[in-house]
Structure 1
Amino acid sequence: MGIEIHNPATLPANDNVPGNDYAFCVEMAGQPWFTSKGAMIAYYGNINFEPLGRTSMTAIVAARFSSPLYADDWVLAQGQGKLILGDRGFNINSYDLDDGNLTIRAANLLAFETSLDLKQSIVPGFLTLLGTGKFLASSNGPVMFAEPPLRIDPQALVGWADCPSPSHHFDADWMQSFLGAVRGSMFGANTGEERQSDFTGAGTVLIQSSEKVVHDGHLLKHIESETVALGQNSLRALHASIGARLQN
């Protein structure tokens, strides 16, 4: 069995590395890209990576990246060459927005062109891309596209395009079950059989073919940002609740 050896001439432009769903090659030709920290696994050519807080392209960041909570997790890549991106062995796909509106789990968003605007979604742990351009997203297994109305396991949800944000739907039997309520309060997690994300209206929902969520440290940041509005009594109550859960 032969091993394929790649070089700049054999690597594709803006496509998955041939025979490899877990690596993606971006053609860098002067157009900057926002890339998630740690996504770069290799590159050919002259490419620079600048943290958003210390970049020479402050105008692009100010105009396109409107999510300070996530700014430390991203860099601006610019230059000439072939940039190979990966994400811990997860599948990587490219998507094209055409004057679109797509909300995606922050942990799954890998890179996007600077022609797109990024906003922080009101849904914890998600980001919204607006405009026209290409972006890359990782997933635990291939992605399926589905039309609403539908309900899906929240852990299988990658994102949604051009449709309203989902609401939570709780199974009636689970809601009435004391044991289910205790289990939810102790572990803070429900399966898709107990709680679903309920989508209505027109649009497209992106669903990964696994219930295993990509590790997401962004949700903690969102929760921490929300505690700023809490008073001392609320903070004490939250501290007691977290302490009780840690003991369990």
Structure 2
Amino acid sequence: MSVYNTVWNPHTLPSDDNIEGNQYAFSIDLNQPWFMSKGAMIAYYGQMRFTALTHGLQGSLLQMVAQQFSAPLYMGDFVVAEGQGKLVIGDRGYDINAYDLDDGNLTIRAANLLAFQPNLSMNQSIVPGFVTLIGTGKFLASSNGPVLFVEPPVRVDPEALVGWSDCPSPSHHYDEAWVNGFIAAAGRRLGVNSGEERQFDFTGAGTVLVQSSEKVLNDSSIVRSIQGQLPGLSLPGLQQINQQISQQLGQHQ
């Protein structure tokens, strides 16, 4: 029988691994709490409970979240899965991979982070749309296609970037043609259209994770980050942003 028409059960599902022949689903042998992205659960065997971080937390669970989850912008995106059994997760048909941190740190796009063990702590990154995991433990991430691991110095398309480990945060790099065009337009053009014009520039030691596609899985966290800055802007600043949004919308029509 092919792995594509195998009927799985709690005894044949793998323990903390991708289901055989299926890079789109991952089976967790749940015996301790896990932080998990909302909507990632597709099936489970056993007795489990899924508690939102924004309500219903009590006792040791509340203490665990307070100690390990220092990313208030993303609290509404995660739940705590606890109980005993086999937990199968997926992410809209995207590839899923498991990674192990050993007393390390890794910054990852929040939309790609599916689940992580509670001995890892999660902090908000200074780069909008990204979070940082610190400590020792396992986490799961999705990607649009297989992930490449590359060493700095390297420049990466922003939409293809999944994350980076043990190296400084990237800086923006704009190619010469774009800069010349910006100057010639007397500052009227504030946006960019593709990764060929704008890249993330990584230097120093470490590892950069790049997915095999120029497609961001979800940009809702970046939108929330921008929204959080709006109350502090002046009227001219809001008008300028409104103008830029109108220009960007026009380019997509």
Work out the CA distance in 1 between the residues paired with 2:89 and 2:183.
45
DSSP 3-state at the match of 2:80: strand
Mapped pair 1:111 → 2:115 = yes
DSSP 3-state at the match of 2:27: strand
* Partner residue in 2 for 1:129: 133
TM-score, scaled relative to structure 2? 0.91
After superposition, give the CA deviation of every residue in 1:47-77 in whole Å (9 maximum; x if it has no partner).
1000002223110111011111110111000
| Equivalent residue in structure 2 for 1:65, among 66, 69, 78 | 69
Letter in 1 for 2:27: C
1:232-247 matched pairs, under 5 angstroms: 232-243=235-246, 245-246=248-249
Deviation, 1:232, is 3.5
Letter in 2 for 1:113: Q
* Partner residue in 2 for 1:213: 216
Deviation, 1:156, is 1.0
Deviation, 1:190, is 2.8
Work out the CA distance in 2 between the residues paired with 1:174 and 1:211.
19
Work out the CA distance in 1 between the residues paired with 2:90 and 2:243.
40
* Greater CA drift, 213-222 or 226-235: 226-235
Deviation, 1:245, is 4.4
> Percent same amino acid among aligned pairs?
58
Mapped pair 1:227 → 2:230 = yes
Work out the CA distance in 2 between the residues paired with 1:37 and 1:244.
33
Q: Please, which runs of 5 or more residues in structure 1 have no aligned partner?
A: none
Distance 1:243 1:159, change over 3 A: same
Judge conservation of contact 2:15–2:29 (CA < 8 Å) in 1.
yes
Judge conservation of contact 1:150–1:198 (CA < 8 Å) in 2.
yes
* Partner residue in 1 for 2:81: 77
Judge conservation of contact 1:174–1:181 (CA < 8 Å) in 2.
no
Mapped pair 1:93 → 2:107 = no
Work out the CA distance in 2 between the residues paired with 1:179 and 1:208.
33
DSSP 3-state at the match of 1:168: strand
* Partner residue in 1 for 2:19: 17
DSSP 3-state at the match of 2:23: coil
| Equivalent residue in structure 1 for 2:180, among 164, 176, 181 | 176
* Partner residue in 2 for 1:197: 200
Count of residue correspondences? 245
Mapped pair 1:142 → 2:143 = no
After superposition, give the CA deviation of every residue in 1:168-187 in whole Å (9 maximum; x if it has no partner).
111112211259969x948x
Letter in 2 for 1:9: H
Distance 1:213 1:179, change over 3 A: farther
Judge conservation of contact 1:174–1:180 (CA < 8 Å) in 2.
no
Distance 1:16 1:229, change over 3 A: same
Q: Please, which runs of 5 or more residues in structure 2 have no aligned partner?
A: none
* Partner residue in 1 for 2:51: 50
For the aligned residue pairs, the C-alpha RMSD in angstroms reads: 2.0
Distance 1:68 1:12, change over 3 A: same
After superposition, give the CA deviation of every residue in 1:111-156 in whole Å (9 maximum; x if it has no partner).
0000000000000110000011100000011101111111111111
Judge conservation of contact 1:160–1:206 (CA < 8 Å) in 2.
yes
Judge conservation of contact 1:28–1:79 (CA < 8 Å) in 2.
yes
Distance 1:180 1:150, change over 3 A: farther
| Equivalent residue in structure 2 for 1:28, among 27, 30, 34 | 30
TM-score, scaled relative to structure 1? 0.92
After superposition, give the CA deviation of every residue in 1:19-46 in whole Å (9 maximum; x if it has no partner).
10000011111x1000000000000000
Judge conservation of contact 2:192–2:198 (CA < 8 Å) in 1.
no
Judge conservation of contact 1:166–1:200 (CA < 8 Å) in 2.
yes
